[in-house]
Amino acid sequence: MSEKVGVYVCHCGTNIAGVVDVEEVSNWAGEQPNVVCSRDYKFMCSSLGQELIEEDIKEHGLTRIVVAACSPHMHEKTFRGATERGGLNPYLFEMANIREHNSWATTDKAAATHKAKALVNGAVERVVHHQPLEPIPVEINPATLVVGGGIAGISAALELADAGNHVYLVEREPSIGGHMAQLDKTFPTLDCSACILTPKMVDVEQHPNITLYSWSEVENISGYIGNFNVTVRKKARYVIEELCTGCGICEEKCPRKVVDEVFEAGLAQRKAIYTPFPQAVPKYPVLDPPNCTYFERGKCKACQILCPTGAIDFEQEDELLEFPVGNVILATGYDLFDSNRIPQYGYGHLANVFTSLEFERMVNASGPTDGKIVLRDGESVPQSVAIVHCVGSRDNNYHEYCSKVCCMYSLKFAHLVHERIPEAEVYNFYIDIRTPGKGYEEFYNRLLEEGTHFIRGRVADVTDAARLPGEEGKLIVQAEDTLIGKQRRIPVDMVILSAGMEARHDSQDVSLMFGMGCDFDGFFTERHPKLDPVATMTEGIFIAGACQGPKDIPDSVAQGAAAAARVAGLVNQETVMMEPVRASINKETCSGCRLCNDLCPYNAIVFHEDQKLSEVITALCQGCGTCVAACPSSAINGAHFTNEQVFSEIEGILWDVMEHQAVPA
C-alpha cells in the first residue's frame, strides 16, 4: 500500500510562523515516507489556500491530505470540504494542531518547531490508514422541546411556533414568566415589566403550535439529534384543567395562608391553593398539599365544595407524558445569589436589610406593599437608602464573575427611590459602574443628575452598632471610599443588597440528563464562547438565556430567538448528516462475551441470542469508542479512531525518540 500524502503547513499570518519555522517543517515533512507534496502557505483557510489543496490533488494524484494549522475544532470542516472538492473522500484528511497546541502555548522557537514536526508526522502516519467514510443521514423530528418558560424560553418558543413548528414548553413553576414576571420596571427604559411580558405569555398560551406543560418537569430524555424521546412529569395540580375556568373562588375561600417564598420572595402570603400572580399563564391554580388543611387533617375541602365547576380533584396524581422531539432548547434561567451567605451584610438578622428581589417585589404596584417603599415594619418610610453592589459577584469568596445586571438594576432602584420618596438620600456603594448597553450609560448619567450619591468602595459590613452621634437606630454601612482614600460610615434606614445571578442549584443534574456540559460555576457550556453561543457540544441541544451565564432581558430574548433560528434551520433541512464516527462489530471475530453490551451508555449494542453475537445499532451509537477499547477480541472497529490509526499516530509523533532509542542489536 502506498498512499500519496500532501502536507500543508499554515503560517496563519504570524500566529504560527512567528514561533514555528514553518518552512523547515514543510521541507522536513516533504522528506517523510508517503509524502509526495509539501507546502507552507500564509493562510491555508483562505480560498487560495484551499484551492492549493484541490489543485494538488488533481495534479499530483494525492490520496491523503494533512493540514498543519489551527485546532480541528476551527477548520476541520473547511479542509474536509477542500479535500472533497479535490475529488477525495473528506475523511481522507487529517489536521495537525500546531497553533493552539503549539505556537500559542510556547515562546521556545526550537522546541515549537520540533513539536510541530512530531505533530505533522503523527498526522501523516495516521492519515495513511484513514478509510473513506460516508456521513450518516438522520431525519429531524420537527417538534422541539423548550425547557423553562422565562423570557428566554418564551422567546424561543414563540419564534419557533410562529415559523410553523410544534413546540412543547415545559415549565417547573405553576406559571410561565420566570424572573421577569417578578420585576417592576425594566432598565433603562423603565418599561413596566409585566406590561411587556404578559402579552407574550398570552401568545404562548393561545398559540396553536405550542403545547404548554406548566407545573411540570423533564424526567428523562433519551435518543439523539432529530430523534429525542422525552418523558415529562406533569405534577398533580389537584385541579382538573378541562373544568377550571380560573375564576379564583378556590383561592379566595381557602382558609390557609402560607408565606410565598417563591414569587413574593417571602414578603407576602399566598393561599394553599393559588395562582402565583394575577396574570399567570396558564390561569389554573395549583394546590400545595404539605400546606393544605385537607391533606394534613382530612377535613376542609372548602375549595372543592365551593368550586362552581367541580374542578378540584384531591385524588389527582402525577402524570408521566412521553413524546418525541427533534431538538431541545434549554432556557432554565438562574438563581439569585443567597445573601445569607455573606453574614457581615446583615441579611436575615438586621430587619431592614433587603435583597434586590425583595425590593423588586416591594416597588411593584401589584406587590405586597402596593408599590410603597417601607421598612420591615410595613409602615415607616425610609429617609435614606444604601444600595450595595456586587453582592456575591466579583468576589473570590463567592463568584469571581460579574453578574452583569446588578449595576443597572441598582441604578434603577435608586431612581425608583427618588421617584417615590423625593426627599430620601440614596447611596450606591460600587466597585465599578458597568453600563455597557444601549441607553445604559445615559441612564447612569441621569441618576448622577438626580442626586444619587455614588461611593466607590466594596462595603465591609452593615451593622446596627451605633458608635457616633446620629447613628442610633440606623443601619451603618461601612466602606472604604477608594476615591478619597477614607473609611466612611454612612447611617441609613434601609439597605438593599444587589445580589448577583448564579446558576440554578440543580444545573449539574440538568446538564447530566441532557448529556451536555456545565462549567465550574454551573452555567451551561456553549459550543464556542464567541461564535456559537447557543449551541452545546451535544448535537440537537441548544441553550438560551441566563442558564448560559448572567444576562439581562434583551440578551436573553436575543439568545432565545437565536436558539430558535438554529433549531428552525435544522428542522427545515429535514435531514442532517451525522459524523460517521461509529463503532461496528466484526461478526467473524466477536466471541459473544457481551462485555460491550453493558458498557455502552446508549444501549446501542444488542446481543443476538441465536447467533451468539453482538451488534451495534448505528443510529444509536454516538461514537465514544469505549466498547472498542474494551473488546477483548478486538472485534469492534471504531471508525475514524481505529486501533491502527491511533497506533500509527503514536509512532508518528514519537519519531524522534524512536530514533534516539534504537534497540541495541
Partner 1 sequence: MSEQQFEPVIVGFLCNWCSYRAADLAGTSRTKYAPNMRAIRVMCSGRVDPQFVLKALREGADGVMIAGCHPGECHYVEGNIKALRRYVLLKRMLKQWGIEKERVQLVWASASEGNLLAEAVDRMTEEVRALGPLRWRQAVLGGNGHKPVETAEVEVEVEEV
- Smallest distance from the beta carbon of 401 to partner 1, in angstroms? 12
Q: Which of 484, 537, 577, 617 lies at the binding interface for partner 1 (CB under 8 A)? A: 537
Grid coordinates representing 114 are 520540533
Contact positions with partner 1 (CB under 8 A) in 104-123? 104-108, 110-112, 114-115, 118-119, 122
Q: Does 457 bind partner 1 (CB under 8 A)?
A: no
Residue 658 binds partner 1, judged by CB under 8 A: yes
Q: Of 293, 304, 538, 597, which lies in the binding site for partner 1, with binding defined by CB under 8 A? A: 538
Strand pairing of 269-271 and 613-616?
Answer: unpaired
Task: Rank residues 470 and 601 by Cβ distance to partner 1 and give the closer one.
Answer: 601
Strand spans (E) along 288-433: 319-325, 327-330, 334-336, 353-355, 384-391, 425-430
Per-residue x/- mask for partner 1, residues 121 to 140, rule CB under 8 A? -x------------------
Cell numbers given for 96: 495537525
Q: Which stretch binds partner 1 (CB under 8 A): 95-103, 397-405, 412-420, 544-552?
A: 95-103
Query: Which stretches within 421-506 are classed as H helix?
Result: 440-450
SS3 at position 81? helix
Choices 403-411, 439-447, 556-564, 637-645; region in contact with partner 1 by CB under 8 A: 637-645
Selected binder of partner 1 within 371, 437, 515, 580 (CB under 8 A): 515
Q: Enter the C-alpha cell of residue 511.
A: 446538564
Q: Does 599 bind partner 1 (CB under 8 A)?
A: yes
The residue among 82, 31, 30, 76 whose CA lies nearest residue 56 is: 82
Work out whether 206 is an interface residue with partner 1 (CB under 8 A): no
- Site stretch for partner 1 (CB under 8 A), options 30-38, 41-49, 189-197, 508-516: 508-516
The reply on whether position 299 binds partner 1 by CB under 8 A is: no
Residues 6+ apart with CB under 8 A from 330: 147, 148, 510, 514, 524, 541, 542, 543, 544, 547
102 binds partner 1 per the rule CB under 8 A? yes
d(CA 53, CA 44): 9
Kind of pairing, strands 167-170 and 210-213?
parallel
Take residue 188 and report the three cell numbers written for it. 433603562
Q: Is 520 in the site for partner 1 (CB under 8 A)?
A: yes
According to CB under 8 A, which one of 4, 43, 72, 620 is a site residue for partner 1? Answer: 72
Q: What binding mask, one character per residue, do residues 568-597 give for partner 1 by CB under 8 A, x or -?
A: -------------x----------------
**Euclidean distance between the first and the last CA atom of the chain, given in angstroms as a whole number:** 28
Distance of CA 208 to the CA centre of its chain: 28
Q: Is 71 in the site for partner 1 (CB under 8 A)?
A: yes
Shorter beta-carbon distance to partner 1: residue 266 or 515: 515
Q: What is the DSSP-derived secondary structure letter of residue 532?
A: B
- The site that binds partner 1 (CB under 8 A) totals a number of residues, namely 64
Out of 4, 42, 85, 101, the residue judged to bind partner 1 by CB under 8 A: 101
Q: Is 617 among the residues that bind partner 1 (CB under 8 A)?
A: no
Q: Which of 482, 481, 463 is nearest to 471 (CA)?
A: 463
Of 314 and 602, CB closest to partner 1: 602
- Outline where 179-286 has alpha helix (H): 193-206, 249-253
- Residue 531 within binding range of partner 1, rule CB under 8 A: no
CB 279 within 8 A of CB 204: no
* Rg of the chain on CA atoms, in Å: 31
> In angstroms, how far is CA 258 from the centroid of its own chain?
33
Element (H, E) at 76: helix 72-85
Binding interface with partner 1 (CB under 8 A): 71-73, 97, 99-108, 110-112, 114-115, 118-119, 122, 508, 511-512, 515-520, 525, 537-538, 581, 599, 601-602, 622-626, 628-630, 638, 641, 643, 646-647, 649-651, 653-654, 656-658, 660-661, 663-665
